[in-house]
Amino acid sequence: MSESPPTTPVCYRHPSRETYVRCTRCERSICPDCMRDASVGHQCPECVAEGRRTSRPARTVFGGGTAGRQGYVTKALIAVNVLVMLLSIYSARGGDSLGGAGFGGLLGGSTPLTSWGAVLGFDPRFFPPEGVATGEYYRLFTAMFLHYGPLHLLMNMWALWVLGRSLETTLGPLRFLALYLVAGVGGNVAAYLFSNPFAETVGASTAIFGLFAALFVIMRRMGRDTSSVIPILVINLVFTFAVPGISIAGHLGGMTAGAAMALVLAYAPRSRRTLFQVGGGAVIGLVLTGLTLMQTAALLS
């Protein structure tokens, strides 16, 4: 009795294609179109998908996603600030929006867009009155994306590029974005509380000072040398107090809020890290909200 010739294996997804390659997980035959590179050999598409569902995504030491290594949030924040600067210049149709104001004429002046979005406590000279105290609370957010001219923008964006890439890599994109926004709003709330209510305040420096403080906190938490951070922080503080026209309250408030948020992110217990971080951020937000409402009541009394 004659034996039947051996059958050549075929791809389980493409029966018309012969192959001698098998999936290293399920051992089904797969053709070149179905091969997916694995640490050892190749896997079929179904096994790759199953592995992605069952494996835990990589996380940073503080629980964030590793996508932060690409710096997407840092780049997006810079892009938004640049776009808003262009819109600000357009709103003024040129004029002194590019230069002619502070720092010996190097900074730009106020534009219709900065007047709309700057931190302004309360100005009854307009009808109706304008300012945060009149219900324009959006100013506490929009002010961190506005600048007085390209030089003002350039200084802040350079600092954001240097600090942001490092912090976003360490924290992950979402936690870094939360840190940036909390610091920026915190600094603007401080400007609302302690600055002249008639003065307009804009700039990303509230958030930038928060990033400086956060970098110090996080480096200490990771056991790294902070000697390179302290001199830069001190120089910026001296600059804040020495140069006229800079919002001292905004810078110190941003630093305080950034440090508080960094402490929450860095020292959250590992077992309930995300819950602690979200809850801590919410508490900071409630404190800032309470301080804002108290100042509003004081200005309107």
Residue by residue, DSSP assigns 131-196 as: SGGGT-TTHHHHGGG--SHHHHHHHHHHHHHHHHHHHHHHH-HHHHHHHHHHHHHHHHHHHHHHS-
Query: Which range, of 45-59, 240-254, 268-282, averages the lowest pLDDT?
Result: 45-59
Instruction: Please check the confidence at residue 59 and state whether its pLDDT lies above 60.
Output: yes
Q: How far apart are CA 84 and CA 259, in angstroms?
A: 27
**Residue of higher predicted confidence among 20 and 176:** 176
CB–CB of 29/19 below 8 Å? yes
Q: Which of 205, 227, 228, 271 is catalytic?
A: 205
pLDDT score for 14: 92
Please give the pLDDT value at position 5.
Answer: 60
Closest CA to 216 of 205, 207, 204, 228: 228
Task: State the catalytic residue, choosing from 42, 147, 152, 251.
Answer: 251
Q: Please, where in the chain does CATH 1.20.1540.10 lie?
A: 66-300
- Please check the confidence at residue 127 and state whether its pLDDT lies above 80: no
Cα 226 to its chain centre, rounded Å, is 22
**Percent above pLDDT 70 for the chain:** 91
Return phi, psi of residue 18, to 5°: -80, 145
> pTM here?
0.79
Q: How far apart are CA 67 and CA 211, in angstroms?
A: 19
Backbone angles phi, psi at 36, to 5 degrees: -125, 125
Residue 214 has pLDDT above 90, yes or no: yes
Give yes or no: 42 in active site: no
Q: How confident is the model at residue 55 (pLDDT cuts 50, 70, 90)?
A: low
Find out whether 153 and 85 touch, Cβ atoms under 8 Å: yes
Alpha helices (H) in 15-132, listed in sequence order: 45-54, 72-91, 102-105, 112-117
Contact 245, 294 (CB under 8 A): no
Res 229: pLDDT: 82
Note the pLDDT of residue 50: 82
Spatial separation of the C-alpha atoms in residues 292 and 131, rounded to whole Å = 12
Per-residue pLDDT at 66: 73
Helix (H, G, I), strand (E, B) or coil at 68: helix
Backbone dihedral region for residue 223 (phi beyond 0: left; psi -120 to 50: alpha; all else: beta): left
pLDDT at 291: 97
Q: What is the DSSP letter of 2?
A: P
Q: Taking 80 as the threshold, does the pLDDT of residue 20 lie above it?
A: yes
Q: Which of 169, 287, 265, 172 is nearest to 210 (CA)?
A: 265
Helix (H, G, I), strand (E, B), or coil: what is residue 18? strand
Q: Which of 34-38, 133-137, 226-230, 238-242 has the highest mean pLDDT?
A: 133-137
Q: What fold characterizes domain 66-300?
A: Rhomboid-like fold (1.20.1540)
pLDDT at 101: 64
205 among known catalytic residues: yes
